[in-house]
Amino acid sequence: MTFIHDIAPDFPLHGLLDPQGQLSADTPDAQRDPALWQRAHAHIRFTRRFDRAAIHLQRTGRLGTYASCYGQEAISTAIGLALQASDVFAPYYRDQAAQLLRGVTPLDILRFWGGDERGSAFARAPEDLPNCIPIATQLPHAAGIASAIKWRQQARAVLATCGDGATSRGDFYEALNLAGVWHLPLVIVINNNQWAISVPLHAQTACRTLAQKAVAAGIPGVRVDGNDVLAVHAVVTEALVRARAGKGPTLIEAVTWRLCDHTTADDMSRYADAAARTAAEAREPLRRLEQLLITHHLWDAGKAAATDAEQEAEIVAATDAWLNDAPPAPTDMFDFLQAHLPDDLRRQRDDFLQRQRAAATPTIRLPPAQHSEDSP
């Protein structure tokens, strides 16, 4: 089954696994593999469990602001499963699931959200970009990496992610335009979770879909149910195969609903309709995938207990490692900013070190002089 076509006037929402856990009759063979179902299911469960642990750390004052991915794990999980080791991943800040599949550790993620530069030093994915907090600035970077891959004539692809709010930024359009003009091996996946912090989708764009923004760039665009991990996996896999084969870029809109606050600094209850959230809960990705496994006798209470215990132990170990981690060097904010510090930042670094040393040097305070009555 082919999902991606040349530019078309309509953008239907592709899906393979419905909210009741029933597979579509036209599901491709690759997405009918029970091993894929089980791996995706286990990883979504792990990501969700880790997500809860990170929020608990933040709420108890032991972690910085954190961006949850609750309810959106299928998109990132499918991306992580579809990418090859030789590909380059340029995430935004809600891609914990894909990063974990790329070899980023839970400790790395906790370090990052704890303000530690070491959290972006991915030993097993050294070419992947770190989390991008500024909106959409990772997309031109991804286009630049894709242009280098094309110039080197390598059979590799770059995949970049962003949220729906990023599609209103100039960086998004510039990267998309460049990818189209230069026919780059770039796949951009939009996590359309319906909210740009508190701004609903209808208030930020007049487009009927986000996938149709591909038309202006002259590239294929496709929409997929972002709560259907199998459909996202099929669409992303096809786009990556096209990119590696020199067939150019693809824009993918994965439609989901944000079931969590934008970050732990946000309160979604102040602007989101509670009834809409309840309706979205019924379509969330883990529930439908679990139902598929139950139907095929691949999941039961015993397996759930064993999996939960194993995952909990791994997350507790990562949390303990984070809480007992040696503090980063104060100069990390300079040393990991640029490969070669310019003179002005080098002077700032030197001045900072001098202040640090001065603060660490104890000041000896002498008692006031004692004068006897017969002192002159």
What DSSP letter does each residue of 190-214 carry, written as one string? EEE-SEETTEEGGGT---S-SGGGH
User: What are the structural domains of the chain?
Assistant: 13-295 (3.40.50.970)
In this prediction, residue 290 carries a pLDDT of 96
In SS3 terms, 19-42 reads as: CCCCECCCCCHHHHCHHHHHHHHH
In this prediction, residue 361 carries a pLDDT of 73
The overall average pLDDT reported for the chain is 93
Percent residues over pLDDT 90 in the chain: 86
The answer, yes or no, to whether residue 261 has pLDDT greater than 50, is yes
The answer, yes or no, to whether residue 145 has pLDDT greater than 70, is yes
The answer, yes or no, to whether residue 11 has pLDDT greater than 60, is yes
Q: Residues 283-298: what's their mean pLDDT?
A: 97
The answer, yes or no, to whether residue 368 has pLDDT greater than 70, is no
The answer, yes or no, to whether residue 9 has pLDDT greater than 80, is no
Q: Which residue matches tokens 């459909």? A: 231
Spatial separation of the C-alpha atoms in residues 81 and 54, rounded to whole Å: 23
Spatial separation of the C-alpha atoms in residues 345 and 365, rounded to whole Å: 35
What pLDDT digit, counting tens, does each position of 65-92 carry?
999 999 999 999 999 999 999 999 999 9
Q: Residues 121-139: what's their mean pLDDT?
A: 93
Spatial separation of the C-alpha atoms in residues 352 and 349, rounded to whole Å: 5
The answer, yes or no, to whether residue 367 has pLDDT greater than 90, is no
Q: Are 172 and 139 in contact (CB under 8 A)?
A: yes
In this prediction, residue 339 carries a pLDDT of 86
In this prediction, residue 259 carries a pLDDT of 96
In this prediction, residue 333 carries a pLDDT of 86
The answer, yes or no, to whether residue 7 has pLDDT greater than 50, is yes
Three-class DSSP category at 89? strand
- Start-end of H helices in 83-169: 96-101, 106-113, 138-151
Backbone angles phi, psi at 88, to 5 degrees: -115, 135
Q: Residues 108-123: what's their mean pLDDT?
A: 92
pLDDT category of residue 2 using cuts at 50, 70 and 90: confident
The answer, yes or no, to whether residue 371 has pLDDT greater than 70, is no
Q: Residues 33-59: what's their mean pLDDT?
A: 98
In this prediction, residue 122 carries a pLDDT of 85
The answer, yes or no, to whether residue 237 has pLDDT greater than 50, is yes
The answer, yes or no, to whether residue 124 has pLDDT greater than 90, is no
Q: Residues 217-226: what's their mean pLDDT?
A: 96
Q: Are 251 and 176 in contact (CB under 8 A)?
A: yes
Spatial separation of the C-alpha atoms in residues 174 and 158, rounded to whole Å: 16
Q: Residues 332-349: what's their mean pLDDT?
A: 90
In this prediction, residue 376 carries a pLDDT of 38
The answer, yes or no, to whether residue 8 has pLDDT greater than 70, is no
What pLDDT digit, counting tens, does each position of 92-108 carry?
999 999 999 999 999 99
In this prediction, residue 375 carries a pLDDT of 41
